[in-house]
C-alpha cells in the first residue's frame, strides 16, 4: 500500500464531487493518516457544469497548498466528462482512473499508462432510490469503487465518516450504495 495520495474528482455541479472529496479526507483521517486536505476547485460552481475537487492523504501533515497537478487517482462521477482532456491530465503512470460507468474498463477505449476501474454507481443509486431533486447522487456510492481499487482506506473508516456526516435516516441508504458499488466494481490493471 502506498502512503501518499493525490486524488482529483471530476463531476457535474450537483453530483456531490466536493462532498465526496471531503468524506474521503475525513475517512482517511479516521484511518490514521495525519495529513488530509480536501478542496473544491476554486471559483464559482454551477449546477450541471463540470466541477472538480481534490483530496490529499498523507501520513504527515500536508504542506502542499497548490492545486493537484499529478494525481495518482482520478475519480469521474459522470462518464460524459471523459471527453475533456483535463480529466485524465497529469494522471501518473500506474495510477487509477475510476469511472462511474456501466461499461467494462476495456470498453472505455482509453489509452494511457494507468489502471481503470468502473462501476455503475448511477444504476446502484437509481435502484436504491438515492435521488435528490431528480438527480442520482453518486458521490457516496463511488467511494465503494474507490476503496475497492486503491485500498487506500478501509470500509470501516468510510462507514464511520458517513455516520459522522449524515443524519441517521440517510446513513443506511448511503452505506448500501457504497457496499453495492464496491461489489460490482470492475478492475483493469495496466499491462
Partner 1 sequence: MIFVGKKMVRRATTRILDGNHAAAQGAKLSRVQVIAAYPITPQSPVTETLSEFVEGGELDAQYIAVESEHSALAVCTSASMVGARTFTATSAHGLAYMHEMLHWAAGARLPVVLACVNRAIGAPWNVLNDQQDSISQRDTGWIQIYARNNQEILDSIIQAYKIAESVYVPVMVCYDGYILSHTEMPVDIPSQEDVDRFLPLYKPHTILDPANPKNYNLVTLANPRVNTEGVLCHGYMELRYLLQEALQNSRETITTVGREFGELFGRSYASMFWEDRLDDADIVIVAMGSLAMEAIVAADMLREAGNKVGVLGLRVFRPFPKSDVVQALEKSRLVVIFDKNISYGLEGATCSEIKSALYGSSINAVIRNFIVGLGGRDVKARELVDAVNKSLLSVKEGDLNKEYPEWICDI
Residues of the shown chain interacting with partner 1 in the complex, contacts defined by CB under 8 A:
22, 25-26, 29, 34-40, 42-44, 62-67, 69
Give whichever of 43 and 134 is closer to partner 1, judged by the CB atom. Answer: 43
Q: Least distance to partner 1 from the beta carbon of 86, Å?
A: 14
Give whichever of 36 and 119 is closer to partner 1, judged by the CB atom. Answer: 36
For 155, the 3-state DSSP assignment is helix
Cα separation, 87 vs 175, in Å, equals 27
Q: Least distance to partner 1 from the beta carbon of 54, Å?
A: 9
Give whichever of 131 and 156 is closer to partner 1, judged by the CB atom. Answer: 156
Cα separation, 83 vs 109, in Å, equals 11
Q: Least distance to partner 1 from the beta carbon of 161, Å?
A: 9
Give whichever of 41 and 118 is closer to partner 1, judged by the CB atom. Answer: 41
* CA nearest to 120, candidates 30, 181, 44: 181
Cell triple for residue 163?
Answer: 455516520
Q: Least distance to partner 1 from the beta carbon of 154, Å?
A: 18
Largest CA distance in the chain: 44
Contacts of 95 (CB under 8 A, 6+ apart): 71, 72, 73, 74, 114, 115
Contact between 75 and 121 (Cβ < 8 Å):
no
Amino acid at each position: 500500500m502506498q502512503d501518499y495520495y493525490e486524488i482529483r474528482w471530476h463531476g457535474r455541479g450537483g453530483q456531490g464531487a466536493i462532498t465526496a472529496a471531503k468524506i474521503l479526507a475525513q475517512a482517511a483521517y479516521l484511518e490514521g493518516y495525519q495529513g488530509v486536505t480536501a478542496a473544491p476547485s476554486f471559483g464559482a460552481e454551477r449546477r450541471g457544469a463540470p466541477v472538480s475537487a481534490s483530496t490529499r492523504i498523507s501520513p504527515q501533515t500536508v504542506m502542499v497548498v497548490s492545486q493537484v497537478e499529478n494525481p495518482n487517482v482520478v475519480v469521474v462521477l459522470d462518464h460524459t466528462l471523459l471527453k475533456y482532456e483535463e480529466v485524465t491530465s497529469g494522471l501518473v503512470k500506474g495510477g487509477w482512473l475510476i469511472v462511474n460507468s456501466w461499461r467494462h474498463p476495456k470498453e472505455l477505449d482509453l489509452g494511457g499508462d494507468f489502471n481503470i476501474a468502473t462501476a455503475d454507481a448511477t444504476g446502484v443509486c437509481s435502484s436504491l432510490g438515492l435521488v435528490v431533486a431528480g438527480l442520482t447522487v453518486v458521490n457516496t456510492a463511488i467511494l465503494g469503487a474507490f476503496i475497492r481499487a486503491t485500498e487506500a482506506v478501509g470500509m470501516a473508516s468510510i462507514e464511520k465518516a458517513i455516520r459522522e456526516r449524515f443524519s441517521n435516516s440517510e446513513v443506511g441508504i448511503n452505506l448500501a450504495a457504497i457496499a453495492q458499488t464496491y461489489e460490482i466494481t470492475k478492475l483493469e490493471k495496466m499491462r
